[in-house]
Structure 1
Amino acid sequence: MPEQHTGACHPEVAEVAPATSAEVGEVRAFWGGLGLPGLVDVHTHFMPERVLAKVWAYFDSAGPLIGRPWPIAYREEEGRRLERLRAFGLRAFTSMLYPHKPGMAAWLNSWAADFAARTPDCLHTATFYPEPDALAYVTRAVEQGARVFKSHVQVGGYDPADPLLDGVWALLAERGIPVVTHCGSGPAPGKHTGPGPIAAVLERHPGLRLVVAHLGLPEYTDFLDLAERHPELRLDTTMAFTRFTEEQSPFPKDQLPRLVELESRILFGSDYPNIPYPYLESLQALERLGLGEGWLRAVCHDNAARLFGLD
Structure 2
Amino acid sequence: MSTNLESLEIIDAQIHEPWPGKPLDEDMKPQTSLWQVELAREAMDAIGVDIALAVTSEAFIELAHQRYPGRFPGVHTLFHTHPDLASEVRRIRANPAMVAGRALVGDFINARMRPEFAAGVFDPIYATAEEVGLPIFNSTHGGCAHMAAVAERHPNLILIVDHIGVAQHPVSPPETMTWAPFEDLLELAKYPNVHVKLCGAPLLSQENYPYEDVWPNLDRMFAAFGHDRILWGSDYTRLRSADLPKGDRPRRRGITYGENLNYLLHSGHLTYEQKALVLGGNARRLFNLPPASQDWGPPPMSWGFGR
Question: Do both proteins adopt the same fold according to a TM-score greater than 0.5, normalized to the shorter chain?
Answer: yes
Structure 2: stretches of 5+ with no match in the other structure: 24-34, 167-178, 241-254, 292-307
Deviation at 1:122, TM superposition (A): 0.6
For 1:292, the equivalent position in structure 2 comes to 271
Partners of 1:112 and 1:126 within 8 A in 2: no
Equivalent residue in structure 1 for 2:165, among 200, 210, 216: 216
Partners of 1:113 and 1:144 within 8 A in 2: no
Structure 2 counterparts to residues 82-97 of structure 1, below 5 A: 82-97=41-56
- Equivalenced residue count is 235
Normalising by structure 2, we get a TM-score of 0.66
Correspondence 1:147 to 2:99: yes
- Structure 1's consecutive aligned runs of 4 or more residues displaced over 6 angstroms after TM superposition are none
Structure 2 counterparts to residues 245-260 of structure 1, below 5 A: 245-247=204-206, 251=214, 253=216, 256-260=219-223
Deviation at 1:223, TM superposition (A): 0.8
For 1:33, the equivalent position in structure 2 comes to 4
What SS is found at the alignment partner of 1:298? helix
Partners of 2:61 and 2:73 within 8 A in 1: no
Cα distance in 1 between the residues matched to 2:41 and 2:119: 35
255 and 140 in structure 1: CA distance in 2 versus 1, 3 angstrom threshold: closer
Q: What percentage of residue pairs aligned between the two structures are identical?
A: 24
Worse overlay, 294-303 or 83-92: 83-92
For 2:17, the equivalent position in structure 1 comes to 46
What SS is found at the alignment partner of 2:270? coil
For 1:278, the equivalent position in structure 2 comes to 256
Cα distance in 1 between the residues matched to 2:50 and 2:218: 30
Q: Which gives a bigger RCO, structure 1 or 2 (Cα 8 Å, sep 6+)?
A: 1
What SS is found at the alignment partner of 1:122? coil
Normalising by structure 1, we get a TM-score of 0.65
Structure 1: stretches of 5+ with no match in the other structure: 1-30, 54-75, 98-107, 186-193
Structure 2 counterparts to residues 162-241 of structure 1, below 5 A: 162-185=119-142, 194-217=143-166, 218=179, 219-226=181-188, 228-240=189-201
Q: Which has the larger radius of gyration?
A: 2
297 and 111 in structure 1: CA distance in 2 versus 1, 3 angstrom threshold: closer
Correspondence 1:301 to 2:261: no
Cα distance in 1 between the residues matched to 2:272 and 2:234: 19
Deviation at 1:257, TM superposition (A): 4.5
Cα distance in 2 between the residues matched to 1:252 and 1:79: 34
Deviation at 1:112, TM superposition (A): 3.6
Deviation at 1:283, TM superposition (A): 2.4
Deviation at 1:124, TM superposition (A): 2.2
Note the aligned Cα RMSD (angstroms). Answer: 3.1
